[in-house]
Amino acid sequence: MSELAVDIIKRGGRRPSERYSRDKLHASIVAACLSVNTPAGLAEEIAAAVCDDVAQWLSVRPEVTSDDLRRVAARHLNIHHPDAAYLYEQHRIII
């Protein structure tokens, strides 16, 4: 699937916006899955499914906030792996 031309508004506009990157989202979902001891192959499959769902959501939006992107990704991740979704949602609080 080709990259979507969607701008991600970072931290309420206090940081420069950036173009949506499926690879970046995929890597963060995989990292969350691996952090809760998910096998690497399954983590990759889950990340691909979540990225597909997020891409569909993004397809009708020219821009979204990074918080909205994180919320939508976490909602879809929760379907596949609730523990990883919790970690993904809470990463700023935990670290």
Q: Which pTM value belongs to this model? A: 0.87
How far apart CA 95 and CA 12 sit, in angstroms, is: 21
Q: What is the bridge-based pairing of β-strands 18-19 and 7-9?
A: antiparallel
List pLDDT tens digits, range 56-66: 999 999 999 99
Cα of 72 vs its chain's centroid, Å: 7
pLDDT band at 92 (very low <50, low <70, confident <90, very high): low
Question: 29 and 47 in contact (C-beta within 8 Å)?
Answer: yes
Q: What is the bridge-based pairing of β-strands 18-19 and 63-65?
A: unpaired
